[in-house]
Amino acid sequence: MSSMADTHHHDATTAADGDQPEDAYGAAADAAEGHVYTVTGQDWDSIAAEQAERGDERIVVNMGPQHPSTHGVLRLILEMEGESVTEARCGIGYLHTGIEKNLEFRSWTQGTTFVTRMDYLAPLHNETTYCLGVERLLGIEAEIPEKASVIRVMMMELNRISSHLVCIATGGMEIGALTVMTIGFREREKVLDAFELITGLRMNHAYIRPGGVAQDLPDNALEHVRDLVTWMRKHLPEYAAFCNENPIFKGRLSGVGHLDLAGCLALGITGPPLRATGYDWDLRKKQPYCGYETYDFEVQTWDTMDAYGRFRIRLNEMWESLKIVEQCVARLEKMTGAPVMVADKKIAWPSQLSVGSDGMGNSNEHIKHIMGESMESLIHHFKLVTEGFSVPPGQAYVPVESPRGELGAHVVSDGGTRPFRTHYRDPSFTNLQAMPAMCEGSMVSDVVVAVASLDPVMGGVDR
């Protein structure tokens, strides 16, 4: 086994000292010093024994980018002495998709199909912040139908529950709490069923559009959501029963990933890590959007400033989201037949079409009306679909409270039918800055817990 380890290491300093052309972007400090081990599944003891022979306790470990504990393709560069982490850095960019650049080559409405794929665990929040920005530039914020806003809030709160479930499920799996993982995905599946019923898709919905939402709720949607809330109220207590006072669970999370209020404010950290310091910062209350000021709910905080506090906040937030969803259902019951898209036909897309008898395509009456009676509406619809609508020049930033913190789209228009620039302030990207502060000086096993407590989603980081 030791010979296998020998073949896999080399002296990195020799490579750094060679006559290679200088890399303008690579700082000299990037060159690793000492031995570099590429550990490919062989016995860790042989590596440790060889390192002990050298009498050097310092070792650099690459955790990821394909590692279950890094929440996607995140690479953690850990400098360790024994099992203590002395220095930690994040390596990102392995999932870069160029979404923000692609938006510049699509119409404003098509943009929603791109942004939904960024933070793929909170797609509806991505869509909402983008559409709110576009609507502000268009000057139609006051014209958005109330039903559309209520649907948006309901969908976002269901999305918050499904996202927190993934965080708790994967975080539990990483420390060996497998039951938490299985029940977490069981509950999330229920939420995704509701999404599929309402939007047609489990994720990447493109359901929230500039001006409203893509389509009205199906006839049985509210009944389905009501059943979902009942199911959640029955099963959410299981997480508390498994974890809250579980001595092993608390032992792994309490006091781990410590980050106080001053650290959060200095690094721009938002969401559960910030609220775990006792600060009740939640954009739904502090800077309301979509009518959140009209809903009854409490901002959840904790005062331990550690991974355990962040877990408890997410657990409590799911209960608050259920309260909001119930209020949405009650309002939507009274809005049957109300519009879900602005009345302006030069913005509303898709336009109000009559569906054919097969449930697809347009009805003959509708085609007859457009083709035979209203050439102008046909032209407008054709232009709307092919070119899109123009947005007055300007810029807007309307942030929302995503499951991970402040998520905002900075939308810039030059007056054309496509975004001039769209840039996202993604909480996963900002919150990852806290990783070194939370991990340096702790054990390597605590790095897994600290990163999980931030709940980073790499789709949002790399965009």
Specify if 324 maps to a domain: yes
Q: Residue 354: its pLDDT value, please?
A: 62
Q: Which residues contact 4 (CB under 8 A, 6 or more apart)?
A: 42, 46
C-alpha distances (whole Å) from 364 to each of 87, 111, 216, 357, 371 are 68, 31, 21, 9, 10
> Are 282 and 314 members of one domain?
yes
> Are 186 and 248 members of one domain?
yes
> Are 70 and 130 members of one domain?
no
> Are 129 and 160 members of one domain?
yes
Question: What tokens were used for 189?
Answer: 């599946």
C-alpha distances (whole Å) from 96 to each of 41, 68, 92, 157 are 27, 19, 9, 28
Q: Residue 266: its pLDDT value, please?
A: 92
Q: Which residues contact 178 (CB under 8 A, 6 or more apart)?
A: 172
Decide which of 44, 66, 91 is a domain's last residue.
91
> Are 79 and 170 members of one domain?
no
> Are 141 and 85 members of one domain?
no
Specify if 211 maps to a domain: yes
Specify if 288 maps to a domain: yes
Q: Residue 348: its pLDDT value, please?
A: 80
Beta-bridge mates of residue 422: 411
> Are 182 and 293 members of one domain?
yes
Specify if 425 maps to a domain: yes
Q: Which residues contact 454 (CB under 8 A, 6 or more apart)?
A: 257, 273, 310, 404, 428, 431, 432, 434, 435, 438
For the chain, helix (H) and strand (E) counts, in that order, are 21, 11
> Are 159 and 85 members of one domain?
no
Q: Residue 151: its pLDDT value, please?
A: 94
Q: Report the 10 Å Cβ neighbour count for 84.
A: 14
What is the chain's percent helix, strand, coil content, to nearest 5?
50, 10, 35
Q: Residue 12: its pLDDT value, please?
A: 38
> Are 104 and 64 members of one domain?
no
Count of the separate structural domains present in the chain: 2
In this prediction, the residues of the chain whose per-residue pLDDT falls under 70 are 1-44, 51, 55-56, 68-69, 350-362, 370, 373
Q: Residue 171: its pLDDT value, please?
A: 87
Residue 132 near residue 321 (C-beta atoms within 8 A): no
Global pTM reads 0.84
Q: What is the DSSP track for 370-391?
A: IIII-HHHHHHHHHHHHT----
Specify if 349 maps to a domain: no
Q: Residue 408: its pLDDT value, please?
A: 93
Specify if 364 maps to a domain: no
Decide which of 50, 65, 91 is a domain's last residue.
91
Half-sphere exposure of 245 (CA within 13 A, CB side): 2
Q: Distance between CA 122 and CA 145 in Å, rounded?
A: 23
Q: Residue 149: its pLDDT value, please?
A: 94
Q: Residue 15: its pLDDT value, please?
A: 39
> Are 277 and 144 members of one domain?
yes
Domain enclosing residue 435, as ranges? 99-343+390-462
Decide which of 64, 91, 118 is a domain's last residue.
91
Question: What tokens were used for 28?
Answer: 């000299």
Specify if 329 maps to a domain: yes
Q: Residue 245: its pLDDT value, please?
A: 84
Q: Residue 108: its pLDDT value, please?
A: 92
Q: What CATH number does residue 250 fall under?
A: 1.10.645.10
Half-sphere exposure of 110 (CA within 13 A, CB side): 17
What letter represents residue 219's amino acid? D
Q: Report the 10 Å Cβ neighbour count for 250.
A: 14
> Are 149 and 8 members of one domain?
no
> Are 241 and 272 members of one domain?
yes
